[in-house]
Structure 1
Amino acid sequence: MGLSASKRVRAHLEASPQFSSACNSAYAHCLSLTQHAFAGIKPYQLCSAVDQLHRLLSNSLPIISKWAARPPDRDRVDRAFRSLIRTRESGSMAAREDTVLDESEFEELALELFAECVASNMEMVALKRFAVGAVGIGGVGAALKPGSGVLVAAIAAYALGIGIDLHRWVDG
């Protein structure tokens, strides 16, 4: 059926000039807070940088304001950071204290973080809708007692409609 929701969201964010601009602004803000003492963003700055980025994106990208109402939590930021460092350092152990992220690495981290956050929120809403709809279809089926094939087909059609909605949520 195509790309996963996370990959579609990531592609949408990568193509967005507002996303790139917001990443650059949040990165520059972090550097100015440390008075350019480091060559990039230190790990301890990531949560505040992501919060700043979320504020900027919430005002400029509807997909963020709709599907990521709150900034990603510290645990999610830490997981994305460890994943980025593992990729960068080809499987080395924990990140060292002197690790810094340059501008492109910060944008890569932000892409991964926000794409995963938006996609997981979309999937959670889709699962809730599916559960409610399937129970409703099952309830109507119990009252009308059509064949089980009819119920399965109705639930499958409903699930397909939700899948199509997921694609529209990302694109629209």
Structure 2
Amino acid sequence: MGLSLSKRVVNTLQTSPEFDSACTTVFADCLSLSQQAFAGVRSYQLFSATERLHAILFHTVPLVSRWVPDPPGRIQVDQALKAVISRRTGGEEKITLDEAQFKEFEVEVFAEAVVSMAGKEVLKSVPLGVVGIAGFGAVVKPGKDLVAAAIGAYALGVVTSIYFSLGK
């Protein structure tokens, strides 16, 4: 699905007041659950924090409602943590994310989840439509060029539709 889709999703999440508010709420919950023992969210709290954030976002952020029906899995959480850690200095000893880093982490998790689901939708939708167009072409016999053009237009339409649905 490419880098531009990912940037579009990241921008949508970063500028969403609902996403920002939900991250602040979940961050405060994590601090409360650890009884303020740490200055931020510890790595062992991230999976459950992501689940709680998904529960909030699913009802308030249309991008998440449409593209992330289930909370991101542990693998996505771990990959996002590695991505955030690789951008900061100081190594991996006793990882604690402050509020800004926590939001960066959650943007990473949910952007990857959205782009992944959008890619799956393309892989599901395009072949079905192509088969339908090719079947129609076999019955009607309008010519190979017309069928090829219709298939190309359909594929472009599906991809464009998904691309625009990833924005605001």
Tell me the residue number matched to 2:131: 135
User: Normalising by structure 2, what TM-score?
Assistant: 0.92
5+ unaligned residues in a row in structure 1: which ranges? none
Tell me the amino acid that sits aligned with residue 115 of structure 1: A
- The whole-number CA distance in structure 2 between the counterparts of 1:99 and 1:13 is 24
Q: Distance in 1 between matches of 2:5 and 2:162?
A: 7
Aligned partner of 1:44: which letter? Answer: Y
| TM-score, normalised with respect to structure 1 | 0.90
Letter in 1 for 2:73: D
More off after superposition, 31-40 vs 157-166:
157-166
CA distance in 2, matches of 1:166, 1:158: 12
Q: Which sits farther off after the overlay, 16-25 or 80-89?
A: 80-89
Structure 2 alignment gaps of length 5 or more? none
Aligned with 1:113 (options 71, 87, 109): 109
Deviation at 1:149, TM superposition (A): 1.6
CA contact (8 A) 1:5 1:166 kept: no
Give the Cα–Cα distance (whole angstroms) in 2 for the partners of residues 52 and 3 of structure 1: 27
* SS of the residue 1:69 aligns to: coil
Q: 1:10 corresponds to which residue?
A: 10
Identity of aligned residues (%): 44
Matched AA of 1:86: S
- Cα distance between partner residues in 2 of 1:166 and 1:24: 29
Give the equivalent residue in structure 2 for 1:25.
25
Q: Distance in 1 between matches of 2:69 and 2:49?
A: 16
Give the deviation of 1:69 after TM superposition.
0.9
Q: How many residues align?
A: 167
Which residue in 2 is equivalent to 1:76?
76
Residue 157 of structure 2 is aligned to residue 168 of structure 1: no
Q: Which runs of 4+ in 1 moved over 6 A?
A: none
Q: Secondary structure at the residue paired with 1:88?
A: coil
